[in-house]
């Protein structure tokens, strides 16, 4: 499922709204989630899961082409942990 399919599904679910509202709502939700993580905040969606940041300490890597050592600075990476309901539904769907 892609973003445009998700928007179409939601537009169908809310026939009283104009299609543009679903489009705008999806973009707004995704922007708000991106902004929250960019600020260093967590996201907790009951029944779906949580998004948080994991810290990656600085390390020396190597340029695979030249073999030269390069310092890779510390950074944060987004991490998702599925919530109970999502975990259970996905697992049952697979069996």
Partner 1 sequence: MTLTKAELADLLFEQVGLNKREAKDMVEGFFEEIRTALERGDSVKLSGFGNFQLRDKPQRPGRNPKTGEEIPITARRVVTFHASQKLKAAVEQLSDASKQP
Asked if 71 is part of the footprint of partner 1 (rule: CB under 8 A), the reply reads: no
- Tell me: does residue 19 bind partner 1 (CB under 8 A): no
Residue 20 sits at φ, ψ, to 5 deg, of -60, -30
In 3D space, the residue among 23, 53, 54 whose CA is nearest the CA of residue 38 turns out to be 53
Query: Are 43 and 37 spatial neighbours (Cβ–Cβ below 8 Å)?
Result: yes
When asked if residue 80 is in the footprint of partner 1 (CB under 8 A), the reply is yes
How far is the C-alpha of 58 from the C-alpha of 61, rounded, in Å?
9
Of 17 and 62, nearer to partner 1 (C-beta) is: 17
Binding residues for partner 1, rule: CB under 8 A, are 1-3, 6, 9-10, 13-14, 16-17, 21-22, 24-26, 28-30, 32-34, 36-49, 51-53, 55, 73-80, 82, 85-87, 89-95
């Amino acid at each position: 499922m892609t973003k445009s399919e998700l928007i179409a599904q939601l537009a169908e679910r809310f026939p009283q709204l104009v299609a543009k509202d679903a489009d705008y709502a999806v973009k707004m939700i995704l922007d708000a989630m991106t902004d929250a993580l960019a600020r260093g905040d967590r996201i907790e969606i009951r029944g779906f899961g949580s998004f948080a940041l994991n810290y990656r300490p600085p390390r020396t890597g190597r340029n695979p082409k030249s073999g030269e050592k390069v310092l890779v600075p510390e950074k944060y990476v987004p991490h998702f942990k599925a919530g109970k309901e999502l975990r259970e539904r996905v697992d049952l769907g697979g069996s």
